[in-house]
Amino acid sequence: MTNSEQKPIYLDTTYSTEERVQDLIAHMTLEEKISQMTNTSDAIGRLDIPAYDWWSECLHGVARAGRATVFPQSIGLAATFDRNLVYKVATAISDEARARYHDKNNQLKNTQYLGLTFWSPNINIFRDPRWGRGQETYGEDPYLTAELGKAFVKGLQGSDPRYLKVAACAKHFVVHSGPEKLRHKFNAIVSKKDLFETYLPAFKALVDAGVEAIMGAYNRVNDEPCCGSKTLLQDILRDKWAFKGHIVSDCWAIVDFYEHHKITSSAVESAALAVNNGCNLNCGSTFPFLLAAVNEGLVNEKTIDEALSYLLKTRFKLGMFDPEDQIPYSKLSPDIICSSEHRNLAREAAVKSIVLLRNENNLLPLSKNKHRNILVVGPNAGNIDVLLGNYHGVSEKMITILEGVVGKADKNAKVSYRAGALLNEEYPNPVNYALFEVYNVDVIIAVFGLQPTLEGEEGAAILSTEVGDRFDIQLPQNQLNFLQKIKDSGTPVVLILTGGSPVSFPKDIADAILYVWYPGEQGGGAVADILFGYENPSGKLPVTFPKSLDDVPDFKDYNMINRTYRYSKVDPLFPFGFGLHYSQLTYKLLSISSTVLKEGEDIHLTIEVSNNGKYNTEEVLQLYVTDVEASVEVPLYSLKDFKRLNLSAGESSQITFDINTEMLKLINEKGERILEPGEFLITIGGSSPSKRSIELGDSPPIIQKIEVR
């Protein structure tokens, strides 16, 4: 374009986004339009359109793009039950993404993983503990997932009225949670009730919150491939929910239409099916066949124009066609990447994510005076992988658990280390020095559990025999054997478990047990802060830990009966929402404005929470609803609100929950959301309602009956 030529509308920022999008489309040939509809979009020099790769990731930090702050894996962030913290983490992530994107020394701008369109968060429901990708989610509860997902999206996308900071993407739409080895051909059969009661609510919440993109899943749902489903993409997303952003396929999912699902017979038919039913962007290699599809009359050019318009709107909202000085995020300095501020935030997130499952005889926190001779065992103690999880960046400041323990123990303490046992196979040598040393120390810190080579996505978990999933949820037998041997020594044992999904084990396998997830680059320091009492554990389980797979339905069954805390009638090993503190807390009902609720009104319920111990702590108060008189099967309990509060040692604090009729509506067999009169139970406490939580040391909750008229 010469200087003498008039600036086209699409490059003129005084016009509306819609006007600019339509003008740009009018300048493009059909071939050029189609070239913009795959994740590797071509440059169009004559129109000043740069090449762009849409594929970037940031589940818990900018991923696969080099140096970046690594926050706890998503399931660990979920364990914080902290909306504001998740928002701050996402804000830090988007700051780093923008800073890298605008860095003048960045020679890889617009290449894979270095763009501004991030395929995060994963808001699938973690319905089965075997699923390797459950670590990417916010757990098993639709409400918790929705609340944290909204906070994450807000932090990523920013609050500028004109420009997106980065574009977030909710995935994988929908009814997608394993098995991994079947994902390219699986057909998930689901009722309308389960669909709208469990699988869709978080996606609806993020659409309402303005998420810019939705990614379809690999599998079929009720016989329709998700990335070409009229029911999901058109009827629900576009028509029912009025979604205005763009829809992207999972990577090479459209190839599955004809290679695995056998819904179509060719790439041309598959591309046509996907775009006709609402998919705008193809991660993969199928949409170039749209040219043939148009020529064969399977797709018309108007449909191509409409699909492309959604993609161009996103690029305009990201400022990709505007002068950088007009974009408020362009001046973020690369110095913020892995800054001390972000590192401290990663440490805070890791601390808040750690869940104390057991603390027999108050072994924790460790005493620097009493516990001066410490033996650390377990291959995960010095393992970098267990800090990272999957979809991660890398940092020069990663602290392993072993390093954290050494750094926080008394400077004159003796800290020794032995691997002791392997994670998933028997120790081949009959002589094991660790078993001699356990008798001569004050405490044993055993670091075992899972790592990303054992669970994760297809292709990533290279030691998984189930293509990323697990065939059992019990800790590997050789870990249990070793732990039993060191427990039999009589020396106190602290068991630190890493992982992204539930595990089962004998509850008395150790005196104290911490579940630390994949805690990010500062994980080792955070674990040590908890061990030595610099911090009080406050994490809560975002997923139920079953006792065994005998208590879990078939992996391929997507019916929610007997799944998660909401529907299972079997006592778990550890219940959803559970997590102990170093202090004992009590709850007292102070007042309730009414016990009768009518449409459009609220009930205000005020409770007092008291910290009866000697340690400052944070508590996550959780409010659950039970519909006692429903006309259809409903969840046994449903999380409807949660609040984090700080309590100093000996302090009491008042907190009020507002209960409205929207919280009490049920989903009927038609998938409709309705309010029925009758009796409801409101339960407020530090865990989901379960006798197991009391057995494990949690405080009795408040239970209040109300009536809807």
d(CA 364, CA 528): 11
340-561 folds as Rossmann fold (3.40.50)
pLDDT number for residue 368: 87
Give the type of residue at 647: L
Contact in structure between 680 and 627 (CB atoms under 8 Å):
yes
pLDDT at residue 602 is higher than 80: yes
Residue-level pLDDT at 5 = 65
- What is the greatest pairwise CA distance in the chain? 86
Residues 469-492 have a mean pLDDT of: 96
Tens-place pLDDT, residues 64-76: 999 999 999 999 9
Average pLDDT rounded to a whole number, residues 280-291:
98
Return the pLDDT at 616. Answer: 96
Residue tagged active-site, from 140, 348, 455, 698: 455
Write down the mean pLDDT value for the chain. Answer: 96
pLDDT of 6 over the 90 cut: no
CATH code, residues 585-708: 2.60.40.10
By three-state DSSP, how is residue 168 classified? coil
Nearest residue to 271 (alpha-carbon basis) of 37, 44, 30, 33: 37
**Which residues touch 575 (CB under 8 Å, ≥6 apart)?**
541, 544, 545, 565, 687, 688, 690, 692, 693
Residue 136 burial by CB count (10 A; 0-12/13-18/19+): exposed, middle or buried? buried
Q: Would you kindly state where each structural domain of the chain is located, as residue ranges?
A: 340-561, 585-708
Please tell me the distance from the alpha carbon of residue 471 to that of residue 474, in angstroms, as a whole number: 9
Q: What integer pLDDT is reported at residue 480 of this predicted model? A: 96
Helices (H), 370-476: 385-388, 401-408, 433-437
Question: Using omega within 30 degrees of 0 as the cis cutoff, is the peptide bond preceding 179 cis?
Answer: yes
pLDDT confidence tier of residue 2, bands split at 50, 70 and 90: very low
pLDDT reported for residue 1: 44
CB 130 within 8 A of CB 136: no
DSSP 538-586: ----SS-B-S-GGGS--TT----TT-HHHH--SPPSB-TT--B-SS-EE
Write down the pLDDT at residue 429: 83
Alpha-carbon separation of residue 599 from 594, 596, 619, 659, 708 (angstroms): 14, 10, 31, 11, 8
- Tell me, what's the pLDDT at 105? 83
Structure tokens at 435: 């078993």
**HSE-up of residue 673 (Cα within 13 Å, Cβ side):** 11
pLDDT at 689 over 70: yes
The SS3 call for residue 181 is helix
**Are 577 and 540 in contact, with CB atoms under 8 Å apart?**
yes
Average pLDDT score over residue span 149-178: 98
Give the SS3 label for residue 681. Answer: strand
Mind giving me the DSSP string for 464-502? -TBTTB-S--BPPHHHHHHHHHHHTT-S-EEEEEE-SS-
Q: In the block, which residue shows the tokens 């009966």?
A: 561
Tell me what pLDDT residue 507 has: 85
Q: Is the pLDDT of residue 56 over 50?
A: yes
pLDDT tens digits, one per residue of 345-379 = 999 999 999 999 999 999 999 998 899 999 999 99
Q: Looking at the predicted structure, is the pLDDT value of residue 493 above 70? A: yes
Considering 57, 82, 136, 250, which one is annotated as catalytic?
250
Percent of the chain with pLDDT over 90: 96
CB-CB contact of 637 with 564 (8 Å): no
488 is catalytic: no
Helix (H, G, I), strand (E, B) or coil at 81: coil
Across 5-23, average pLDDT: 94
Residue 4 is predicted with a pLDDT of 44
pLDDT at 645 over 70: yes
Distances (CA, A) of 213 to 120, 150, 314, 497, 539: 9, 13, 9, 35, 30
Annotated catalytic residue 322 = no
Helix (H, G, I), strand (E, B) or coil at 355: strand
Predicted confidence (pLDDT) at residue 573 exceeds the cutoff of 90: yes
> Stretch 202-209: mean pLDDT, rounded?
98
pLDDT attached to residue 374: 98
Segment 477-506 mean pLDDT: 97
